[in-house]
Amino acid sequence: MDFQAFFQNSLEALKKEGNYRVFADLERKCGAFPKAGYHRDGTVRDVTVWCSNDYLGMGQHPDVVAAMVASVQSHGTGAGGTRNIGGNTVHHLALEQELAQLHNKESALLFTSGYVSNWAALSTLGSKIPRAVILSDEKNHASMIEGIRHSRADKVLWKHNDWRELDRKLAAVGDRPKIVAFESVYSMDGDTAPIREIVEVCEAHGALTYIDEVHAVGMYGAHGGGLSEAMGLADRIDLIEGTLGKAFGVVGGYITGSKALTDFIRSYASGFIFTTALPPAVAAAATASVRHLKASSDERAAQKAAVAKVRARLDRAAIPHLANDSHIIPVMIGDPVKCKMVSDILLQDWGIYVQPINYPTVPKGTERLRITPGPLHSDADIDHLVAALSALMQQCAIAHKQNNAVA
């Protein structure tokens, strides 16, 4: 087989479909976010970032930066290996304690990313619990899908957010151990789960509840514990999974739950046992971020206000966007080539960086720009974004708000 020809032909097919991913070379500037330097052809110019998952700008918060710098200067950079080899550091333990308290759980366990925490936890639960069945929302994240697949446990899909169908399917499983996996905020459509109804159904069937809060931690609840905290349901959910790489502005993933549950995952999950631990400086910075957002609601309030402003101005300009109750604004394009073209023009001509979201991240025909307004976007930034989108929607002949697929 001509492997190189196969690779090249596959890449060409992606390009023809409009699904080939091109990364922008950006240089974040501490103290200037959401501005960044865009590197191209030997030049650098400022652009405004509109699609970052650093939802609250905590990646440049002075307390977070200072904590990381101080830890590096005191302890160096790396962790020295896995925690089994390199040992626990005070920073790892402090962060786990902080996260357990955030979600009102007995214990927490750190991983190197949110992807890894989902993959490791679900694969371990599904493979080690005898006769387990995992019931998964059909729109769950790729990390959850991969964890379930790797577990080789029986899987049952239920229609997105349809707790009544979940109820029926749980009943059909019978007396086998049941694990229900779902998200609180779904990152592409920005919709939220009916958490209370799902929890009540799971309790009725004796199912273990597993919620992914990666797009909600830091963002919702009085202390940033996510939608489960905001709804007063954290105590009734067995495992809450989250990330440090989005609203907390650092990197890493985690699970929280009972001592027995987290120790079980720690003892059996290959994704934890055989992976080098997060650098202590990362843990120190994340701890500072979690502590700050536990005490401060200013960032959340400003972020919510920015989302409301963007949505109102998009509505006035008749720019199609999906309605939801979250901080994520999907501006619908519906064509992969046009979506990439709009993104490119925004970057090159308007100084606006927002990546196109195409298949396989979203179904074909639902391509979109995923906009995430933050507390540091100014009114002038918002006006510039909406003016650019309005001009391009007309230029590219993209349907406006009368489309029945939008808000």
Which residue numbers are catalytic? 246
357-396 residues labelled b (16+ CB within 10 A) or e (exposed): bbeebbeeebbbbbbbbbbbbeeebbebbbebbbebbeee
- Distance, in Å, from the CA atom of 265 to the CA atom of 180, rounded to the nearest integer, reads 17
Among residues 129, 131, 112, 115, the alpha carbon closest in space to that of 174 is found at 131
Residue at token pair 């080899």: 85
Nearest-10 crossing angle of helices 163-173, 195-205:
10
**What is the C-alpha to C-alpha distance for residues 338 and 147, in angstroms, rounded to an integer?**
33
Q: Please give the DSSP secondary-structure letter assigned to residue 332.
A: E
Cis amide leading into 363 (omega within 30): no
Distance CA 225, CA 294 (A): 8
Torsion angle of C-alpha atoms 296, 299, 301, 302, degrees rounded to 10: 150
95 neighbors 242 (Cβ within 8 angstroms): no
In contact, 241 and 254? CB cutoff 8 Å: yes
